[in-house]
């Protein structure tokens, strides 16, 4: 796990007591300040709501930082981005937001740069691929807060009953789905390309087929590339048309529906993340996990996802925000959150600690996939519009009578338009 960065982090950390950015002084220097933090909920009910984690963290921070109070409000993922957007629009921005995207606010000049907030050791400790993803025009505004990768999940009991093993390529995946269907499995392969999170499922398959949203150099959008067209053509002809994706057509199947069906034992295979692993096991499902198969073998990259922390300039609490963020990114706090919600750490040192600790064994396969994963182009101002176009259109690409080339060309045109509009602003 990114061992080449450890010596840098260790060396910089040794200077942490003497080299720090303004805003990281002693607690006694602060006036009475209340920091307002709006965060997303990673729990699945009141019992394990993220509100509990943040309240505990705030209590520990306040105990060592007299004069600073942290007021945390947690909202569901369905609502949190909208809640923050409305607060900003009303001129009432929070001091800190932990949500899904930062680029729009950075472009509007509303956010502090990361190097204005945290100490050098904290900034140097973020996993490099996540630090890069937190940049807009080569300046980091987004602090990665939580990460995950996607693996191919399969129901071990259903696979044993069908007499098949974990697939290593697309041909084996189709063959396994055929056997599962013959045994009466409702969803041999669940393919959620509905409006909820189809931009993720689409990216998983693009990477599996050797493509992606952007070209191999991470440059311009390449949504209608030959490899992407081939991928969705294969899905249409080999999984959807033969009826191997279940009773709900992929364009109308949302991720939450697919995940719930998996926890009921109705799905043979699907792309999953760590939270689904725990939910399925709690329902008695024996979960197998392997890297996503590619055309002829393992996919060249897995899909990674990062959620973001950001700090708004409006209230002028830079020093206090920086002090809180340095505290929040201590290893013990990062690992506590990761262990509680089956989320991957975003720092080098916490990732190393997780990889060395057997109690986190459940997450090791996801952790191994993170350094070579690819993330959404979330630092691009155009991404929100591109993502919306994917959600609207991609299900049509795999419909039995669908035209993958035409659908991907339509999305590519929307992407080009979004790029032009972003450049003009």
Position 218 scores a pLDDT of 60
Residue 339, both tokens: 């262990």
pLDDT, one tens digit per residue, over 84-96 is 999 999 999 999 9
273 located within any domain: yes
CATH number at residue 91: 3.40.190.10
Position 372 scores a pLDDT of 82
374 located within any domain: no
- Distance, CA of 315 to CA of 56 (rounded, Å): 24
* pLDDT beyond 90 at 1: no
Position 381 scores a pLDDT of 82
Backbone angles phi, psi at 138, to 5 degrees: 65, 20
Position 43 scores a pLDDT of 85
Pair (196, 209) in one structural domain? yes
Arithmetic mean of pLDDT, 378-387: 85
- Distance, CA of 94 to CA of 96 (rounded, Å): 5
Do the Cβ atoms of 126 and 97 come closer than 8 Å? no
Pair (220, 327) in one structural domain? no
Please report which confidence band the pLDDT of residue 17 belongs to, taking 50, 70 and 90 as the band edges: very low
Under 8 Å CB-to-CB from 93, ≥6 apart: which residues?
Answer: 84, 87, 110, 312, 314, 315
Residue 237 is given by DSSP the state: I
Do the Cβ atoms of 230 and 294 come closer than 8 Å? no
Pair (74, 219) in one structural domain? no
376 located within any domain: no
* pLDDT beyond 60 at 212: yes
Please report which confidence band the pLDDT of residue 3 belongs to, taking 50, 70 and 90 as the band edges: very low
Pair (62, 192) in one structural domain? no
375 located within any domain: no
Do the Cβ atoms of 189 and 343 come closer than 8 Å? no
pLDDT, one tens digit per residue, over 141-191 is 999 999 999 999 999 999 999 999 999 999 999 999 999 999 999 999 999
Arithmetic mean of pLDDT, 251-280: 94
At which of 367, 395, 415 does a domain end?
A: 367
* pLDDT beyond 70 at 411: yes
Q: Which of 29-33, 198-202, 311-315 has the lowest mean pLDDT?
A: 29-33
Pair (58, 93) in one structural domain? yes
Arithmetic mean of pLDDT, 103-126: 95
- Distance, CA of 343 to CA of 345 (rounded, Å): 7
Number of domains in the chain: 2
At which of 367, 393, 415 does a domain end?
A: 367
21 located within any domain: yes
Domain containing 227: what range?
Answer: 151-301+381-424
* pLDDT beyond 60 at 237: yes
Pair (294, 309) in one structural domain? no
Pair (223, 290) in one structural domain? yes
Pair (29, 116) in one structural domain? yes
Position 246 scores a pLDDT of 97
Position 4 scores a pLDDT of 33
Q: What mean pLDDT, rounded, does the chain reach?
A: 90
Under 8 Å CB-to-CB from 102, ≥6 apart: which residues?
Answer: 111, 134, 136, 141, 142, 308, 310, 378
Pair (392, 322) in one structural domain? no
372 located within any domain: no
Pair (73, 219) in one structural domain? no
- The string over 79-108, giving b where at least 16 C-beta atoms fall within 10 Å of a residue's C-beta and e elsewhere, is ebbebbeebbeeeebbbbbbbbbbbebbbe
Pair (83, 19) in one structural domain? yes
115 located within any domain: yes
Do the Cβ atoms of 248 and 255 come closer than 8 Å? no
- Distance, CA of 198 to CA of 202 (rounded, Å): 6
Position 9 scores a pLDDT of 40
Pair (262, 347) in one structural domain? no
């Amino acid at each position: 796990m990114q061992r080449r960065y450890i010596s840098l982090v260790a060396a910089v950390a040794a200077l942490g007591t003497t080299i720090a950015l303004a805003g990281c002084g002693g607690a006694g220097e602060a006036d009475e300040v209340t920091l307002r933090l709006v965060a997303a909920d990673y729990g699945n009910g009141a019992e394990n709501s993220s509100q509990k984690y943040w309240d505990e963290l705030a209590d520990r921070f306040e105990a060592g930082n007299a004069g600073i109070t942290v007021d945390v409000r947690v909202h569901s993922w369905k609502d949190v981005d909208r809640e923050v957007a409305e607060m900003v629009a009303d001129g009432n921005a929070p001091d800190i937001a932990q949500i899904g995207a930062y680029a729009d606010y950075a472009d509007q000049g509303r956010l502090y740069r990361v190097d204005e907030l945290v100490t050098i050791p904290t900034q140097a400790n973020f996993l490099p691929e996540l630090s890069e993803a937190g940049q807009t025009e080569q300046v980091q505004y987004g602090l990665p807060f939580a990460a995950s990768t996607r693996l191919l999940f399969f129901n071990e009991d259903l696979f044993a009953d069908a007499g098949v093993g974990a697939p290593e390529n697309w041909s084996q995946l189709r063959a396994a789905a055929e056997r599962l269907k013959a045994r009466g499995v409702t969803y041999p392969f669940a393919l959620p390309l509905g409006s909820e999170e189809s931009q993720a499922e689409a990216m998983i398959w693009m990477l599996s087929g050797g493509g992606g949203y952007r070209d191999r150099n991470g440059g311009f959008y390449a949504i209608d590339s030959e490899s992407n067209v081939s991928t969705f053509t294969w899905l249409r002809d080999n999984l959807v048309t033969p009826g191997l994706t279940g009773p709900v057509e992929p364009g109308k199947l949302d991720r939450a529906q697919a995940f719930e069906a998996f926890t009921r034992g109705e799905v043979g295979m699907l792309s999953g993340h760590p939270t689904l692993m725990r939910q399925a096991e709690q329902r008695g499902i024996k979960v197998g996990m392997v890297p996503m198969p590619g055309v002829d073998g393992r996919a060249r990259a897995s899909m990674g996802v990062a959620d973001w922390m950001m700090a708004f300039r409006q209230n002028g609490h830079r020093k206090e925000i920086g002090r809180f963020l340095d505290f929040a990114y201590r290893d013990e706090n990062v690992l506590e959150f990761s262990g509680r919600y089956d989320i991957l750490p975003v720092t080098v040192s916490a990732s190393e600690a997780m990889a060395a600790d057997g109690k986190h064994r459940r997450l090791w396969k996801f952790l191994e996939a993170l350094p070579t994963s690819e993330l959404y182009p979330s630092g691009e101002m155009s991404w929100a519009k591109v993502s919306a176009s994917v959600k609207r259109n991609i299900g049509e690409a795999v419909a039995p009578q669908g035209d993958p080339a035409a659908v991907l060309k339509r999305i590519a045109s929307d992407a080009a338009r979004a790029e032009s509009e972003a450049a003009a602003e």
